[in-house]
Amino acid sequence: MPHSPIEILIVDDHPMVIEGLKSLLDDEDGILIKDCFTDGQSTLNYLDTNAVDVILLDVNLPDINGVDMVQPILNRRKDAKIIVLSTYNEGSIVSKMINNGVKGYLLKNVGANELTNAIHQVFGGGVYYDKSIQIILAEAAAQEFVQLPKLTRREKDILNLIAAGKRTNDIAEELFISPLTVETHRRNLMQKLKVPNSAAMVRFAMENGLI
């Protein structure tokens, strides 16, 4: 039996872009364009009563920002896969969209083959970012790594001992400082690393090569 086509919803504020996407995808085997919208609220109203497989979503919409559209879409259709198709390539926007739950991000200058590949890959449970977006994500990750807080030698000593499972009194005795000083360093470490407790602090430190 033939497979059911991947049902697509296009959301873009430019009708000409929508027409261009329709002409690209209409002749693709295994892809069916269910509907198209130029604003966010109409899209959400449609999804209240209609399911789709993949949503091609622009960032710039006239009423609701695309970044703010992701969660309402997934609240209505948790199985829908969202691919951002936009001219916006700012690292902050890309990161926000991905953190909010989109599965793909492509710039509008991608070719038809890459777009259809992205649709199939995302529909199949994968993720897809075009090469320019991959570079942006890599640069953002590198920048984030560079901006890790600098720890003093004493803070590193205490962090390593906490990671080793040592208690406050044991750390104080080993480093010849008071338990109060140990706790002060512990609080400072949690503040620097922006974590709520010692377990999260150790996990963050291990994941980011601080210990």
Instruction: State how many domains the chain has.
Output: 2
For 90-127, b/e burial (b = at least 16 CB within 10 A) is: eeebbbbbbebebbbbbbeebeeeebbebbbbbbeeee
Residues 85, 115, single domain; the answer is yes
Considering the domain architecture, whether residues 128 and 51 belong to the same structural domain is answered as yes
**CATH number assigned to the domain comprising residue 88:** 3.40.50.2300
Read off φ and ψ for residue 16, nearest 5 degrees: -65, -35
pLDDT in tens, 96-128: 899 899 999 999 998 889 999 999 999 999 999
Note the pLDDT tens digit of each residue in 55-74.
999 999 999 999 999 999 99
Encode pLDDT of 136-167 as tens digits.
Answer: 888 776 665 556 788 999 999 999 999 999 99
Strand partners, 84: 57, 105
What pLDDT was estimated at residue 206? Answer: 87
In-domain check, residue 201: yes
Last residue of a domain, one of 93, 126, 144: 144
pLDDT for res 145: 56
Residue 1 falls inside a structural domain: no
Do residue 87 and residue 166 come from a single domain? no
pLDDT greater than 50 at residue 1:
no
Same-domain status, 110 and 35: yes
Q: Residues 91, 159: one domain? A: no
User: Is 97 a member of any domain?
Assistant: yes
Q: Do residues 87 and 111 make contact, with C-beta atoms less than 8 angstroms apart?
A: no
Separation of alpha carbons 175 and 163, rounded Å: 15
